[in-house]
């Protein structure tokens, strides 16, 4: 069975600095999707970035980028130039493509941004 | 913009009550999901539905049931609420047409059972 592990329950970053959130996963599938979701306090969870496993190039969305290492089954999220609005819970998620509807989520990392 | 709405943001119920949580999406998505979110446990899948009247159990279905009579609406039912069902409940939807498989989430319902 697939698993997703986020080993950092909480992280802090100074405003304008860079922070990296870690995520590792376990799967026997070769084709799958990985996601980072952001859940601000008392607000809706939204997608930050996605990565298709068959793409070697790391996904980037403005200040957010990933370091996807398929062989190591690692999918970290880098936030550059951190802003106060980045403070949130961040969830890493996995979805296989072989006939399953299920998404597997990690336990989340709470990011604090210090002014 | 995809919109997923949930019937209540906060709900307080008594032990033994029957509780209905409703979720509506406006993007004609085939797939809908109910998750439970607890600190340190992440999101755990309760039930999901891939079509009207179709449902499958997730990882923690005990004590819950679901209903999907219309494509846009997916209801979670707690047959007899218990204190260990106090939690944040998140609804999500996604297209059944394949990639990119992004899920869209509702704002959540924080349920307290006393």
Contact by Cβ (8 Å): A14, A87? no
Confidence of residue B22 (pLDDT cuts 50, 70, 90): very high
* CB distance A108 to A55 below 8 Å: no
Residues of A in contact with B31 (CB under 8 A): 101
- Confidence class for position B109, pLDDT limits 50, 70, 90: very high
Query: What is the pLDDT at residue A98?
Result: 77
Cβ neighbours of A103 in B, within 8 Å = 33, 45, 103
Residue in B closest to A7 by C-alpha:
B40
Terminal Cα distance for chain A, rounded = 41
Closest residue in A to B10 (Cα) is: A42
Contacts B43 to A, Cβ<8 Å? 91, 105
pLDDT tens-digit map of B35-88 = 999 998 999 999 999 999 899 999 999 999 999 999 999 999 999 999 999 999
Q: Which pLDDT score is estimated for B108? A: 96
CB contact under 8 A, B103 and A91: no
User: Which of B55, B58, B90, B101 best tests the A interface by mutation, with the highest count of A CBs <10 A?
Assistant: B101
Give the C-alpha separation, A88 to A43, whole Å: 9
Mean pLDDT of chain B: 93
User: Which of A33, A43, A103 is nearest residue B100 as measured by Cβ atoms?
Assistant: A33
Per run of 10 residues, the mean pLDDT along chain A (length 115 residues) is 93 97 94 95 92 91 96 97 97 87 92 96
Task: For residue A10, give the 3-state DSSP assignment.
Answer: strand
Measured between alpha carbons, how far is A86 from B45 in angstroms, rounded to an integer?
26
Which of A12, A6, A20, A25 is CA-nearest to residue A69? A25
Reported confidence tier of residue B1, pLDDT bands at 50, 70, 90? low
């Amino acid at each position: 069975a697939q698993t997703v592990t986020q080993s950092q329950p909480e992280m802090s970053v100074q405003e304008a600095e860079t922070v990296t959130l870690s995520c590792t996963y376990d799967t026997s599938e070769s084709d799958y999707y990985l996601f980072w979701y952001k859940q601000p306090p008392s607000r809706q969870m939204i997608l930050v970035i996605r990565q298709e496993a068959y793409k070697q190039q790391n996904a980037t969305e403005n200040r957010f980028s990933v370091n996807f290492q398929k062989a190591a089954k690692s999918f970290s999220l880098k936030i550059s130039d951190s802003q106060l609005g980045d403070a949130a819970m961040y969830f890493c998620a996995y979805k296989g493509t072989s006939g399953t509807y299920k998404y597997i989520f990690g336990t989340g990392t709470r990011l604090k941004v210090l002014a | 913009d995809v919109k997923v709405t949930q019937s209540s943001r906060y709900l307080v119920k008594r032990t033994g009550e029957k509780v209905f949580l409703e979720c509506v999406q406006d993007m004609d998505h085939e797939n809908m999901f109910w998750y439970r979110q607890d600190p340190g446990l992440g999101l755990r899948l309760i039930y999901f539905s891939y079509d009207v009247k179709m449902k499958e159990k997730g990882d923690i279905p005990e004590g819950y049931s679901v209903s999907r009579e219309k494509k846009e609406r997916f209801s979670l039912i707690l047959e007899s609420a218990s204190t260990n069902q106090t939690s944040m409940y998140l609804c999500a939807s996604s297209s059944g047409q394949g990639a990119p498989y992004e899920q869209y989430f509702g704002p959540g319902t924080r349920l307290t059972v006393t």
